[in-house]
Amino acid sequence: MNAEEYSKKLEQQAQKPAKKKKTILYATITIIAVLLLIHYTPKLVYAMHHETTDNAFVKGDMVPVSPQIKGKISKVYIEDNMQVQKGDILFEIESADYAIALAKSREELSAAQAQIAAIDASAAQARENINQAQALRNKAQSERNFADKEQQRYSRLVSENLVSKNSYDSVKAKADETNAQSAAADASVKIALANLATIEANRKTAEFKAASAMQAVKAAELDLERTVIRAPRNGRIGQNNVKVGRFVQPGQTVISLVGSEKLWIEANFKETQLNHIRVGQKVEIKADAYPDMKIDGHIDSIQPGTGSAFSLLPAENATGNFVKVVQRVPVKILIDGDAGLLVPGLSVEPSVKIK
């Protein structure tokens, strides 16, 4: 072996480790690429058939419980996070003042009803007076008619000198007296009728007062009933600000009652994701709090507007400089079956199956 051949052999032996390293490197890269392909291919396929967002939260019916009257809380029957049923007593407000108001309104109602009874008795007496006045008027009219006829007869007789002028004057005086009595009787009837009309008008006024007193009684009864605050629906006690001795006002929210019967997901999808999202599509839901829980649902509805369109101060894009921002549209997702341990406010990640 000459020197040239020996140097070539040494060179070939030096190149073998480099080739071996390259082979190992290429094999490693190929294995990694295959593993990455195996790992990400299902995710890529899944992403091609689903639209996903992490801007989603559990929603539920939260009913604010507020008293309808003012007063101090006297009794409390609930505890934090307690499960209650519709109609259960939550707390009571001191009722002494409202009981007194009810008693007073009932007394006023009794007085109004007694006034009506007295007016009815007066009306009955007035009707009797009318009957009596009408009877006297009829009698006076009969006497007047008779006296008028007597005067006419005596007038003819005196003209024929068959009776004395004195007799005629006596008959005429009697006729004038009966006419006056008849007029007085007519006036008495009119007075009696006017008295009855006045009494009936007073009765109308008394009826209005009695009706007002009855409404006051009903209002007082309602206020007394409202001193006991009951649960308006089934649910759990959320925010609880009820304490014995605390003074509450009408409309002041003191309890948040969280309904446990119906929960849903509000998912805020980007506007670029809405192209394939439709009502009724199936949804897979993952909860951050319970990653192993499998939750299924479906799209119930899509809000007719972006979130910014319904904000307190909508964006005025026609003024000033404009910067395009991808908008989000709330999508309501109903949970199929039992919601399990989910509660309002939890973060979830829904995936809508679009293909």
Range list of H helices, the chain: 3-49, 96-159, 165-225
Q: Domains of the chain, with CATH numbers?
A: 54-90+230-355 (2.40.30.170), 96-225 (1.10.287.620)
| Residue 87, Ramachandran bin (φ over 0: left; ψ between -120 and 50: alpha; else beta) | left
Residue whose token pair is 């007496």 = 125
Q: How far is CA 83 from the centre of its chain?
A: 23
Distance CA 344, CA 258 (A): 8
More confident residue, 143 or 256: 256
Q: Which of 99-113, 131-145, 215-229, 320-334 bottoms out in mean pLDDT, i.e. has the lowest?
A: 131-145
**Beta carbons within 10 angstroms of residue 180's beta carbon:** 12
- Helix axis angle for 96-159 and 165-225, nearest 10°, is 170
Residue pair 277/301 in contact by the 8 Å Cβ criterion: no
What pTM was estimated for this model as a whole? Answer: 0.65
6-20, 90-104, 125-139, 163-177: lowest mean pLDDT where? 6-20
Across the chain, mean pLDDT equals 83
Tokens coding 130:
């009318």
Which has more pLDDT, 158 or 312? 312
Quote the pLDDT of residue 193: 83
Mean pLDDT of 305-333: 81
8 A C-beta contact, residue 155 and residue 104:
no
pLDDT of 314 reads 74
The CA-atom distances, in angstroms, between 180 and each of 133, 140, 144, 185 are: 15, 9, 9, 9
Question: Is residue 17 over pLDDT 70?
Answer: no
Residue 96 CB-density burial (10 A; 0-12 exposed, 13-18 middle, 19+ buried): exposed
At 268, the pLDDT band (50, 70, 90 cuts) reads very high
* Mean pLDDT computed over 108-133: 86
3-state secondary structure of 276: helix
